[in-house]
Amino acid sequence: MATLSMNDKLILVQYAIDKYDSENVLKEKLKDTLSPKEIERAIDTLIGTQKVRRIGADVLQNNVSHTGELPELPDHLKPIIESL
Kindly tell me the burial class for residue 65, based on how many C-beta atoms sit within 10 Å of its own C-beta (0-12, 13-18, 19 or more). exposed
* Count of residues in the chain: 84
> Is residue 67 predicted with pLDDT exceeding 80?
no
Of 12-26, 27-41, 65-79, the one with minimum mean pLDDT is 65-79
Of 1 and 84, the structure prediction assigns the larger pLDDT to 84
For the chain, give every domain's residue range. 6-79
Q: Which fold has domain 6-79?
A: Arc Repressor Mutant, subunit A (1.10.10)
Kindly tell me the burial class for residue 25, based on how many C-beta atoms sit within 10 Å of its own C-beta (0-12, 13-18, 19 or more). middle
| Contact assessment for residue 77 and residue 19, using Cβ atoms and an 8 Å cutoff | no
Average pLDDT, stretch 35-53?
A: 94
> Is residue 2 predicted with pLDDT exceeding 70?
no
pLDDT, tens digit, 9 for 90 and up, residues 8-26: 999 999 999 999 989 999 9
